[in-house]
Amino acid sequence: MTENEKRFLRIYRRTADPAEALLASGMQPENGESPEKAGRAVLRRLKKRLRELESREAVLELATPERVRAEIAHMAFDDIGRYLYFFEGDKGFEVHARCSDEIDTRNISEVSVGTGGKVTLKLYSRERALLKLWDILRQDDGEEDDSLLDVLRGMNPVPADDTVIAVQSGSGDAADE
């Protein structure tokens, strides 16, 4: 399977639109076909692979202790750079949201669009995830040393609950609220 075919399947699973998946994957219709017709032809050809992919993902989606631990660790060690990128631009220091294809949405608990196009993302609490992960690891190891746990509990979290990222559409401004 080519990289474009793999990309086609990933995009099709997200959009359920064969024409969009065809064009976004870098493939082109041949012999004057419409993107819709060519996309359906590619989908028919890759149907078996799509079923295999779906069945493999179904197995991966089963909740196991290891998977839960991995997801909590992912939340605990998430980084703002996965959602925003920072650079020195024409206007000085600028912040922009990453392209939606680059964002892993697992840690986003809420998205809202306010007046003026201000997009707000709420992330699950990193502090709570760290504390939960610490509890899990301590139970696994039977560890009695609470020094890291004491440090984490003594932190003054800002924000106390969820992390909020606000990006003004088109302005390049972003801020933690």
Tens-place pLDDT, residues 11-47: 888 899 999 999 999 999 988 899 999 999 999 999 8
Quick one: pLDDT at residue 101? 74
Q: What is the mean pLDDT of residues 131-144?
A: 75
Could you write out the DSSP letters of every residue in 14-52?
HH--HHHHHHHTT----TT--HHHHHHHHHHHHHHHHHH
- Torsion angle (degrees, nearest 10) of CA 38, 19, 105, 4: 30
Q: What is the mean pLDDT of residues 141-161?
A: 51
| pLDDT at 153 exceeding the cut of 70 | no
| pLDDT at 173 exceeding the cut of 60 | no
Using DSSP's 3-state secondary structure scheme, residue 160 falls into coil
pLDDT exceeding 70 applies to what percent of the chain?
Answer: 76
Q: What mean pLDDT is reported for the chain? A: 79
pLDDT classification of 175: cutoffs 50, 70, 90: very low
